[in-house]
Amino acid sequence: MKIRSPSLVELHAFLAVCRHGSFRRAADELCVTQAAVSRAVQRLEEHLPGGRLFERNSAGVSLTARGEQLRKLTERHVLALELAAETLGRASMPQLVRLSVIPTLSIQWLMPRLPEFNRRNPEVHVELRQFKHDEDFTRDDVDLWVEVKRPNRRWPEQVQARYLLGRELVPVCAPALSPQFHRPGDFLAASLLHHTNFPDNWALWFAQAGVACKPQLGPGFDLTMHLIVAAKAGIGVAVVPRSLVQKELQAGELVMPFDISVSCGRGYYLCWNQDAPSFAARDKFAAWLAEQADAENPPEGGASSAR
């Protein structure tokens, strides 16, 4: 039988340009040069005579009617081939789990516990992948994510999410500062270290403590890790997730002047793409993460998914 279909290289280039509306961005996705993408599309147009597939203009490119027809006829099948290749490839190395996790949680909570998982499951290898603040969960180099559930944020439809820990906020400071605080309102005279992404944390805590005020915030930091280090250095008082400062509290590097906690309504969630094929190593590691979180700080509402 004579083969009439174009090559997958050409179809991948064509579909990447469809997705991005740009030859340059398509080249970035495919890790090739823009010229290589242009040549592949040109070969495709020559292979399928009848007109151009894209209209070029100053704003980028758009599909012609013929191009739209080709996209509809090929996109689903090319994606199915990619999924088949990924599934078969995964079967040949089922013990690798690729994780994207917020840096502070990784340093303060996960890393101290990971040796226990390795001892219990020596056949499973966990690799940390780059954490992205603007994660859209479409990456194919990550099996599991641990992300913050921000106010009014909805997970994408393909994402399944399970609360782990981190909703409970507590005030902490260096031991040398603690004697000056006799009642919660005394914090108002201190330097209130705050997270720049969540500046309302102090207002939530003061309301829980029964202090009517509009707190004047001190230095701001974009990572909870920075807040913890600044508090240890005596720069001021911080309100942080209790789960992230257990080690410092036990070692006496930080103290809680008042054992008053408040729920921020956010917390860290374990996320995975429910459309991706499951495999034993991923499920084993996910179950262990949930077990560790439940043992330390049982989640509100149990193990149900959240959107």
Residue 90 pLDDT? 57
Residue 87 pLDDT? 65
Residue 91 pLDDT? 56
Residue 305 pLDDT? 38
Residue 154 pLDDT? 82
Residue 94 pLDDT? 54
Kindly report, residue by residue over 113-145, the tens digit of the pLDDT.
999 999 999 999 999 998 988 788 888 889 999
Residue 99 pLDDT? 96
Residue 306 pLDDT? 40
Task: Give the residue ranges of the chain where pLDDT is below 50.
Answer: 298-307
Task: Tell me the whole-structure pTM to 2 decimals.
Answer: 0.66
Quote the CA–CA distance of 208 and 234 in Å, as a whole number.
24
Q: How are strands ordered across the β-sheet holding 192-195?
A: 220-221, 192-195, 237-241, 168-172, 262-263
Beta bridge partners, 92, equal: none
Residue 59 pLDDT? 74
Quote the CA–CA distance of 89 and 106 in Å, as a whole number.
28
125-129 and 60-63 strand pairing: unpaired
| Radius of gyration for the chain, computed over Cα atoms and rounded to the nearest angstrom | 25
User: Where are the alpha helices (H) located in the chain, listed in sequence order?
Assistant: 8-20, 23-30, 34-47, 65-92, 103-105, 111-120, 201-208, 224-232, 246-251, 280-296
Residue 269 pLDDT? 95
- Which element (helix H / strand E) includes 169? strand 168-172
Kindly report, residue by residue over 170-220, the tens digit of the pLDDT.
999 999 999 999 999 999 999 999 999 999 999 999 999 999 999 999 999
168-172 and 237-241 strand pairing: antiparallel
